[in-house]
Structure 1
């Protein structure tokens, strides 16, 4: 009986070891490898070995659910074929040397929960199809060269908790739909070219803990409704062109104490009064 149990266990282990993805999914991974100069990766794949042994690839029931190749010297463009991996829950290509645009059909990855393409040299705009990725919890695209406006479809991501897009060249106004993301905890949009006014609807983002908008071109008054965000612990809205009334509580919460550019391009502090209704902008 003991020998039979050992045999069954060995057979089962052997079966699991040879379990493999579909030929088409394997071909997609090979395309990713070749498109990003895999022979020069820090940790390479042995294409003659089972996919289960490939660095950064996680399988569940023969389905590719995660690709994590962060800081692995990927050079080149993200192949559109990767959009066929519809079971992906995580795509992490952080801190590589990727160029080109984010594939327009990104929304095909409807099961994706974590998207991290930050610290690369990606260009173009954030595709509107991202609104189809309703399971997304985290988007990290910071430190790239992304441009264009934020798509209004981003407001469809009701499960999103982190939106990190800082240090890009994104322009235009924050889409109204973004303020509907009640689950969002971290919104880092600093060091872009965003403009327009910050809507008072930001008070609807009840889960927000960290808000960073510094180094943009926002104008108008800083919404006093920010005081309604009881979970807000970190905020930096300085180095914009905000003016008008503010409150002591918000000024203290702001990392740089509300340092703004006036109409002459001079950095000034918003003058905080004890009574927020009498707060004025210092032009000294």
Structure 2
């Protein structure tokens, strides 16, 4: 009887192991192989053994028989992200930050309906941002700072209703802020440092009630800063310097009691809200966080 029980346990264990390590669909595996080739996998710091189970490959996360994560942060990826990434239809997290990826993003990247985190910062990705984000309702984090993106921030970005972090700093984006941004009521971090964005800000910033960080420094914004910004009670980190704002007087009534950093070209406001810290940009903090979060 004991032997029968032991045999049954072994069978159950082997069955469970098989289910856990079951091969992903062939189309998902093939895309990963194509991705490896397109980004010069033989030069990666942590390479893949393409003869082994994809679930064992560095940065590949598999759950319920599908690829749900691709995290190849700081792994010496070069080349371009190949078309066909929609094959990874269960992907929830894509982190390719701090590599040397070039070229434009595949259009089908923005059709991944389950993606909640997209991090492509510190690469050399070029092109423009897509107009349509309607399929990305699950996205909470969009971080693509320090790339070569051009053109305007599309109005469609307001469709990402669950977005909490938007970081497009240090690119070559131009034009005005799309008014659709005010629909992102869950947004906590808005970071647009060091672009060529210009004109008056027509966005009702007061609607972004969860905003903790707003980084608009070193652009070409002008006119009066929207008065609604003063009502944001959760603000902790504000950088507005290096623009052509006519007036920041609306911030004299700032309601937030949580400010840790405040930088602007108005010395009176800097004294009123400043913390005495050396001026710094959110970019510096982000690099530090990325090193911890990978």
Give the TM-score category using the shorter length.
0.7 to 0.9
**How do 1:55-134 and structure 2 match up within 5 A?**
56-60=59-63, 63=65, 65=66, 88-134=67-113
Matched, 1:36 2:12: no
Q: Deviations over 1:24-79 (max 9, x none)?
A: 577776777775128x75476594x6666555555445x2x3xxxxxxxxxxxxxx
Q: Which residue of 2 aligns with 1:74?
A: none
Q: Do the aligned partners of residues 13 and 44 (structure 1) sit closer, same or farther apart at CA in structure 2, a change above 3 Å counting?
A: same
Secondary structure (helix, strand or coil) at the match of 1:103 reads: coil
Q: Deviations over 1:100-157 (max 9, x none)?
A: 1111222232221111111111111222212321111111000000111001133431
- Relative to the length of structure 2, the TM-score reads 0.71
Q: Which residue of 2 aligns with 1:186?
A: 165
Give the number of aligned pairs.
Answer: 246
Q: How far apart, CA to CA, are the structure 1 residues paired with 2:87 and 2:186?
A: 28
Secondary structure (helix, strand or coil) at the match of 1:146 reads: strand
Q: Deviations over 1:173-194 (max 9, x none)?
A: 0111111212100000001000
TM superposition shift of 1:223: 3.2
Secondary structure (helix, strand or coil) at the match of 2:146 reads: coil
- Tell me if the contact between 1:127 and 1:151 (Cα under 8 Å) persists in the aligned partners: no
Match of 1:240 among 203, 216, 219: 219
- Tell me if the contact between 2:163 and 2:186 (Cα under 8 Å) persists in the aligned partners: yes
Q: Do the aligned partners of residues 43 and 16 (structure 1) sit closer, same or farther apart at CA in structure 2, a change above 3 Å counting?
A: farther
Matched, 1:177 2:156: yes
Secondary structure (helix, strand or coil) at the match of 2:174 reads: strand
- Relative to the length of structure 1, the TM-score reads 0.73
Deviates more, 1:10-19 or 1:211-220: 10-19
- Unaligned 5+ segments in structure 2 are 253-264, 267-294
Match of 1:272 among 237, 245, 248: 248
- Unaligned 5+ segments in structure 1 are 66-87, 263-268
Q: How far apart, CA to CA, are the structure 2 residues paired with 1:255 and 1:60?
A: 37
